[in-house]
Amino acid sequence: MPLIVLWDVDHTLIENCGVSKEIYAAAFAELIGHGPVHPVVTEGRTDRSIMGDLFQRHGLVPPPWAAVEQALSDAGEAREQELARRGYVLPGVRDALEQLRELGESTVSSVLTGNIRANALVKLRAFGLDEMLDLSVGAYGADGKERFELVDVARRRTAMAYALPLGTPVVLIGDTPRDVEAGLRGGAAVVAVASGSHDPDELVAAGADTVLPDLRDTAGLLTHLSAIAQRGAPARPGRGRGGTS
């Protein structure tokens, strides 16, 4: 049974230990000439949204997106080694990615992340995870302002590249209520993982029907994914509970 598995990056696959927020701050400084005074708020938002909010909080009109994306990309590239030094891969991740890869071409493993593609690549490459995922598909922070908009982008991009039907079930694996909301609104199943700053109760309250404490139980995760593949895509994509964006 074909299945499109889309991983969130930060706090799901890797822990960036503050490097991510330093990338936003450095990009802001490159564009404005000084660092941000107000904090960077991420929380599962897309890079478009994070940077837009940051400029707004400083009473500034955001520069054109192309300039912002370039600054983010420059800041990310400059910090790959720092990320490799300070950050780490979350428990169970390598095993899970390896086992998914062994399922063959019918299971596509990619990302749905708020990071721009260049920085998703930096973050995964720092730990050698980039080769375990197909980053030519999936969806990234430049593909939409709100996370739920990325689900359809990823579905179409992946289905086209792999010649899969558009009705192929999609599952998001992520750590924030926004990952859950994206799945509900985008017609994807969700496996929520309480490896970030959100506890299982918050993820259940957001509407997740599967919440794992972490990714250590590879066999358990694969059982959930196999059940999702067999159940097929939700009958009415777009049904959402909303309220978290």
| CA gap 121, 125 in Å, rounded | 6
| 169 vs 177 by CB, closer to Mg ion | 177
Q: What stretches of 31-116 adopt beta strand conformation (E)?
A: 88-89, 107-111
| CA gap 12, 192 in Å, rounded | 9
Smallest distance, Mg ion to C-beta of residue 194, A: 11
Smallest distance, Mg ion to C-beta of residue 42, A: 8
Smallest distance, Mg ion to C-beta of residue 44, A: 5
Q: Which of 3, 7, 8, 108 binds Mg ion (CB under 5 A)?
A: 8
Which DSSP symbol is given to 64? P
Contact call for residue 47 and Mg ion (CB under 5 A): no
Both tokens assigned to 85: 């030094």
| 13 vs 233 by CB, closer to Mg ion | 13
Size of the site for Mg ion (CB under 5 A): 4
Contact call for residue 11 and Mg ion (CB under 5 A): yes
| 8 vs 22 by CB, closer to Mg ion | 8
Q: Among residue numbers 159 through 218, which ones bind Mg ion (CB under 5 A)?
A: 175
Both tokens assigned to 237: 């994509």
Q: Which of 10, 47, 69, 152 binds Mg ion (CB under 5 A)?
A: 10
Please state whether beta strands 88-89 and 107-111 pair in parallel, antiparallel, or not at all (unpaired): unpaired
Q: Which stretch binds Mg ion (CB under 5 A): 11-19, 23-31, 205-213, 221-229?
A: 11-19
Measuring CA to CA, which residue among 113, 109, 149 is closest to residue 129?
A: 109
Q: Are 133 and 100 in contact (CB under 8 A)?
A: no
CB atoms within 10 A of CB 70: 17
In what helix (H) or strand (E) does residue 86 lie, and over which residues does it extend? helix 80-86
Smallest distance, Mg ion to C-beta of residue 90, A: 10
Q: Which stretch binds Mg ion (CB under 5 A): 9-17, 157-165, 185-193, 201-209?
A: 9-17
User: By the criterion CB under 5 A, which residues form the site for Mg ion?
Assistant: 8, 10-11, 175
